A and B are shown apart, each in its own frame.
Chain A
Amino acid sequence: MNATKVSGRKQPLFYRLPVISHFRSSVGLQRGMLVTGMVLAAVFLLVAVFAPWIAPYGFAQLSDAAGPFPTQQPPSPAHIWGTTVGGYDVYSRVLWGAQTAAVVIIVAVAMSIFLGVALGLVSGYFGGWLDRLLVVIADAIYAFPSLLLAIVMSIVISHGQSSFWGGIVACSISISVVFVPQYFRVIRAETIRLKAEPYVESAKVVGASSIRIMGRHIFKNATRTLPLIFTLNASEAILTLAGLGFLGFGIEPTSAAEWGYDLNKAIADASSGIWWTGVYPGTAIVLTVLGLTLVGESINDLNDPRLRGRKKAVAGKGGPDSTAGAQSALEAESRVL
């Protein structure tokens, strides 16, 4: 999207949207990765939205007109992915689980972006002791195993388990505690860089207030990397949510379907050869995370014009600048790792 701005030709808004513009500028393997990721992410979102209509049963439903569900039953026409030890329908719970995951991702990432961006702007713009303090705290949190922090937070907020919205909010806050430092650092670094730009200086000279400068001049320029962090964090949020659920600090099974919780119960089943209770929710996690990660990685590659151009340079087979291009591209990529 930067490239289109620089070139001066204003393209229609649709083509400048993050993922669309990335798709248009991709080729070959990169386009394959992006498309695969987009398809997986789209399926995830569709299932999340339409779970109440697709799922044959409720996520906590234990019986229907034909009587109570059998427990630990292998896949059959009535329960196409079998039933769990508690008598839940695996297929329905996997579908409903997408909804829980999607809601948690949205709440968690929205909260972290809001807090992280606000703190990063203030910290980077004003500097001073507040900045130092925030940086040290963010560093300390950043170095710590994120799952442990999320566990501690979830105990503090909900004493372990709670209702649907209570659980969702508790999980989201726990996850966002881990993410806030990441947004904070990125935005802070960008803000410090942008603070020295002439247009900020001139805004100051004209007499614009600090809030206006931050909100209007720095914010828009500092947040260009956010779509990338968003997609990578979304996948991380799913893994953290599943980890919390797996350890028993997630959402109660009667309040919402959660893949991590189901996998926890499935570990015991696995020892006796019952595979369907674990394989389906687990695969759902893997595919969702895979989809979001592929989208994130592709956006990252495509955001960097040098990395994007690499395919063509390599296709040209070893011209003098192919190595130089690849070299700088790799430096860009190594930053991601």
Chain B
Amino acid sequence: MTTLTEAPLNDADGLLPSKKKSSGGGLGTYILVRFFLIIPTIFILVTLVFFLMRVIGDPITAAQGGRLPPEALAQRIHDAGYDRPILVQYLEYVGQVATGNFGTTITDRRPVVEMIITFGTATLELAINALIVALLVGIPLGLISAYKRDKAPDAVLRFFAILCYATPVFFAGLLMKLAFSVWLGWLPVAGRASTRTELAMGSLAAPTGIYWLDALRSGNMAAYGDVAAHSVLPALTLGLLTAGVFLRLVRTNVIGTLGKDYVEAGRSRGVSNYRLVTKHAYKPALIPIITVMGLQIALLLGGAVLTESTFEWKGLGYQLVQYLNARDFVAVQGIVVMLAVIVAVTNFIVDVVAALIDPRVRY
């Protein structure tokens, strides 16, 4: 939810050593240095989460305490190795995470990695849908806002952007449910698909878990429509949260490029204002948007947790809350670390893409 205060802090200081140290090294070195910067980030988060979760005791007592007799509990703690010194456990955990082993959940005894893959696809689908909505809403409205700068449409759109930020996702979701599901009856209230569709897709040979693809592969148009109908409201809810940020960003950057000399030159040759915005000022303004998209991933994932709970969308966020309520901290730790990895890797990819598009970033 760190939308509005993100960037001023970001470039307020010289905290990106890679961008300076790698000067003259070219793209390859830049990517390499940037890649190795991911590791300390992930390492710190793993350490932080590990010790925070252990402050409250071992995971087995947390999950099963009171339900098992003390001897059985002690036996299970011993079997799982939670009675060893915390540092030994920590080193072992770091070693496991480094090799991609996140342990086994306590409540339903599934490998954490398998659980993350199963539910991660749902979150991925939601995030992609939301990102599409955000771009489709944010970029055109941002262009309009820049085009009509300081006039009524601009004021309305800027207010809309702040409103997008000020509305918690679960309240936006609730309003949409009330409007589109309950009063108008157009769209389903919750879930990813109706039971019949899930059954139809379950018979597929190798389900991807991404319902859009599975429904397409099943060749069943009714299933496809059902999946589409279910994904509209969650995508809108989560998408609008990010759309506000994109709107403001596009507006600011387009207005910025509109002041550049080459745009002045175009204007002096009689190029229309509309054409200036859509052809000349638009593309250079997109570069910062790609950078900010990386920062939005954290916001998007945080929002996804809330959106999934609102719409019973069975993804990582929904599951995280279930495991939290069951006090299954192995699973929680796994999901949190996994999300940290996703955020770090996405930021890396975004930086590389930005460097590919804009050579100035490299130096």
A residues with CB within 8 A of B: 29, 135-137, 139-148, 151-153, 155-156, 159-160, 178, 182, 185-186, 188-189, 192, 229, 232-233, 235-236, 239-240, 242-243, 246-249, 260, 263-264, 266-267, 270-273, 275, 278-279, 282, 285-286, 289-290, 293-294, 296-297, 314, 323-324, 326-327, 330-331, 333-337
Contact = CB atoms under 8 A, between A and B. Distances in A.
Interface residues of B, number: 72
B183 A143 contact: no
10 contacts: A141-B48, A143-B298, A145-B301, A243-B170, A246-B168, A264-B170, A286-B166, A289-B166, A294-B162, A334-B256
B113 interface: no
A152 B332 CA distance: 9
Given A156-B53, A246-B306, A294-B162, A151 B6 contact: no
A285 B343 contact: no
B111 to A, nearest CB: 21
Given A239-B1, A263-B171, A263-B174, 19 more contacts: A29-B155, A135-B15, A136-B40, A143-B41, A145-B302, A148-B301, A178-B2, A185-B15, A242-B170, A243-B168, A243-B306, A246-B309, A270-B174, A273-B183, A294-B162, A330-B256, A334-B249, A334-B256, A335-B12
B336 interface: yes
B362 interface: no
B83 interface: no
Q: For the complex, would chain B's binding face be called helix, strand, loop or mixed by DSSP majority?
A: helix
Interface of B: 1-2, 4-9, 11-13, 15, 40-41, 44-45, 48-49, 52-53, 55-56, 150, 155, 162-163, 165-168, 170-171, 173-175, 177-178, 181-183, 189-190, 245, 248-249, 252-253, 255-256, 259, 264, 288, 292, 298-299, 301-302, 305-306, 309-310, 320-321, 324-325, 332, 336, 339-340, 343-344, 347
Contact of A334 (B4, B166, B167, B252): B252
A152 B53 contact: yes
7 nearest A-B residue pairs (beta carbon): A282-B171, A189-B13, A145-B302, A289-B166, A147-B302, A140-B44, A327-B259
Nearest to B312: A267
B305 to A, nearest CB: 6
Contacts, number: 210
A143 B347 CA distance: 9
Contact of B174 (A147, A151, A282): A282
A263 B173 CA distance: 11
B181 A271 contact: yes
Contact of A270 (B13, B49, B182): B182
Given A236-B2, A271-B190, A293-B165, A144 B343 contact: yes
A186 B12 CA distance: 7
A66 B11 CA distance: 61
A324 B260 CA distance: 9
B1 A297 contact: no
Given A185-B9, A246-B309, A263-B171, A314 B2 contact: no
A149 B243 CA distance: 24
Contacts of B302: 145-148, 243
Nearest to A322: B259
Contacts of B48: 137, 140-141
A250 to B, nearest CB: 13
Contact of A248 (B5, B292, B321, B339): B321
A156 B56 contact: yes
B7 A270 contact: no
A336 B4 contact: yes
Contact of A236 (B1, B55, B56, B252): B1
